[in-house]
Amino acid sequence: MEVWFNPSCSKCRASKELLDEAGVEWTERRYLDDPPTVAEIEHVLALLGAEPKDITRPEGLADAPADRAAWVTMLAENPALLQRPIVITDDGRAVIGRPPEKILDLLR
């Protein structure tokens, strides 16, 4: 399980606590330091069954391009605009941990 993680984010920290309490083995990816590629964002969108707007923080919506490919590129170039945390399981499922309890759905 990989978690796109920002240590200054309260939702990420709460998600970390939930995963640790559940005894889940997971990998922390500090996506601001190691930004996801366009391909990785497209993969996550496919796993989520979502569109770029669904994983964009509200402050990124005002400047979002109309073109989907350009929007995904914008997210790859500006990872701070991504909703967080994004949790991706090894078996091909994903969830945005807002609220963090949504992550528990992946553990069932």
- Annotated catalytic residues are 9
Q: Smallest Cα–Cα separation from 2: which of 80, 79, 106?
A: 106
In contact, 82 and 74? CB cutoff 8 Å: no
Pairing relationship of beta strands 86-88 and 2-5 according to DSSP bridges: antiparallel
